[in-house]
Structure 1
Amino acid sequence: MGFFSRLFGGQNDGQPKNDKADAGEEPGMLRTVRNGGYDRTQTLLAVDALNRELMMLTEVKEARENGRIMAVPPRQTFNMPNKVGKGGFSEEDVEKYLAYLTDKLEEMRRELGE
């Protein structure tokens, strides 16, 4: 099978393409849509807030593994982005990605005993 077939979703060596979102892994990308969708700026701010919290929790976990005591930061809040009439991010993509990040945060907080 050629390079372009694999790149654009063809089968790879007779094996079906794995969909990362279905496998519980990180969703692929946030696609824009012509009509509707979530506001792009607000979406990116929400993703940034969740990633920042995830990074802080990762630092706490690494510090504890190295024998240092570090407090778990408080939960951050974020607002779902507003819907727009044109040129937003796909609602399905945004909802999957934000759900993935919040699940990761909850898993990390459980590991830290919170």
Structure 2
Amino acid sequence: GSPSMNFFQGRADGSGRIGLSGLGEAGLGEAGLVGGGHAGPVVLGVRPDGFRIDTPQTGALRGRVVLSEYLGRETFLHVQLVNGEVITVEADSRDEIAIGSEIGLTPVDTACHLFDSASGKRIG
């Protein structure tokens, strides 16, 4: 799909927590994404519409809006995360989020996809 899914390298600890390389942790146990006690290197995939936009203090991830693409009902925000990586996030066009704004992002459990880092196969 377009825009494409955002991918994050990380490590699952087997209890539902995923440490994302250079970005902190995301708790995804409620979605069963790490079911079966999966532990080890993983890739977390999140589509642009799979984030909740939060304050920088409450989001699982923090970043700065570097580009905003208004497309009618939705706006695609290009957000530079604290590790320098730029991801694409879908926002409601009624939300006025200016370029340069610091925002927090939290992946929505049901919109996340977890893959084994070595094989690329989906987990869960």
Judge same fold: TM > 0.5, yes or no. Answer: no
The structure number with the bigger radius of gyration is 1
Question: Which has more strand, going by share of residues?
Answer: 2
Q: TM-score, normalised by structure 2?
A: 0.22
Q: TM-score, normalised by structure 1?
A: 0.23
Question: Which has more helix, going by share of residues?
Answer: 1
Bigger relative contact order, structure 1 or 2, given CA contacts below 8 A and separation 6+? 1
